[in-house]
Amino acid sequence: MTDFPLSQAEIDAFIDVAFAEDIATGDVTCETVIPADARLTATMNAREVMVLAGLPLTAPIFRRLDPECTIEFFAQDGDKIDPGTVIMKVEGKARAMLSAERTALNIVQHLSGIATLTRQYVDQIKGTGATLLDTRKTIPGLRKLGKYATAMGGAKNHRMGLFDAVMIKDNHIAVAGSVEKAVAGAKAAGRNDIQVECDTLEQVREAVSAGANSLLLDNMPPAMLRQARAIVDGAIPCEASGGVNLHTIRSIAETGVDYISVGRLTQSAPAVDIGLDFA
């Protein structure tokens, strides 16, 4: 299993921001309606089929408001569970539990939605040899969590940001003057992780000739992907991207590409339905 990506300091900062926007100066409903000494027991329950992600954030969220609350987990991130499954149980001060409820649910519903959609894509390409990749199309500030969720769904994390690999795209090529000049510039800087986005077969030939380390084959139909693969002839990895959905990904994978990247995993995944039911 992929390790949870946030340090304790990052978890604390995440909760700071979440509570600042939701609770701010206080939960006026709980403070005026709920007795200060009241206690609650609640279970977090799945209401549809899902792949879990984000559970490590729930305990710190509840314990921020009630450090002495007790929490028991019955599932873990990466598990595929059915409707009615009890995910966790929490017991503590009623005001704290009610004030923290929405923050805990929001993040688990969102991340589990990403993991669930990712698993659907992974299942579609099973047996083809292709690997599913995520992208940088994430909500600003939540990239580590979004990419963690795709890993829980079975995808492989691609670039975390602009800092960790060279990706030469169409606009870079336009400014540099050509594929050859763009690749040459990266090589002159000592980079050996140069990926070139190719829209045409001619660009594929140029990128291979220039010494690219991998190719991003953008918006190519399956027949064209096979032609690109024939040109590359296994010399470097090829990634397909663009126009990928659950209906098209299998035919794309069957062209023999090594990787398929899908932006909608983190950009468009719907939240799953999870409830926190209080006793």
Which of 224, 176, 177 is closest to 204 using CA atoms? 224
pLDDT, average across residues 229-240: 97
What is residue 209's predicted lDDT score, i.e. its pLDDT? 97
For 46-104, the pLDDT digits (tens) are 999 999 999 999 999 999 999 999 999 999 999 999 999 999 999 999 999 999 999 99
Residues 76 and 62 in one domain: yes
pLDDT band, residue 279 (cuts 50/70/90)? confident
Look at residue 1 and tell me whether its pLDDT is greater than 60. no
pLDDT, average across residues 173-197: 96
Structure tokens at 28: 């006026």
For 109-139, the pLDDT digits (tens) are 999 999 999 999 999 999 999 999 999 999 9
**Residues identified as active-site:** 102, 137, 169, 197, 218
pTM here? 0.96
pLDDT, average across residues 237-245: 96
What is residue 126's predicted lDDT score, i.e. its pLDDT? 98
Q: What is the mean pLDDT of the chain?
A: 97
% of the chain exceeding 90 in pLDDT: 98
pLDDT, average across residues 220-244: 97
Residues 71 and 183 in one domain: no
pLDDT, average across residues 207-227: 97
Residues 45 and 74 in one domain: yes
Q: What is the CATH number of the domain that holds 192?
A: 3.20.20.70
Residue 191 lies in a domain: yes
In angstroms, the CA 116 to CA 265 distance is 9
Q: What is the CATH number of the domain that holds 18?
A: 3.90.1170.20
Helix/strand/coil for 45? strand
What is residue 2's predicted lDDT score, i.e. its pLDDT? 79
In angstroms, the CA 47 to CA 276 distance is 10
What is residue 278's predicted lDDT score, i.e. its pLDDT? 87
Beta carbons of 111 and 54 less than 8 angstroms apart: yes
Residues 62 and 98 in one domain: yes
Look at residue 168 and tell me whether its pLDDT is greater than 90. yes
Structure tokens at 217: 């084959």
Helix/strand/coil for 218? strand
Residue burial 48-77, b: 16+ Cβ < 10 Å; e: rest? eebbbbbbbbbbbbbbbbbeebeeebebeb
In angstroms, the CA 85 to CA 43 distance is 10
Q: Which domain holds residue 228?
A: 123-267
For 179-190, the pLDDT digits (tens) are 999 999 999 999
Residues 91 and 136 in one domain: no
- When divided into structural domains, the chain yields a total of 2
Beta carbons of 97 and 66 less than 8 angstroms apart: yes
Q: Cβ of 36: how many Cβ atoms within 10 Å?
A: 9
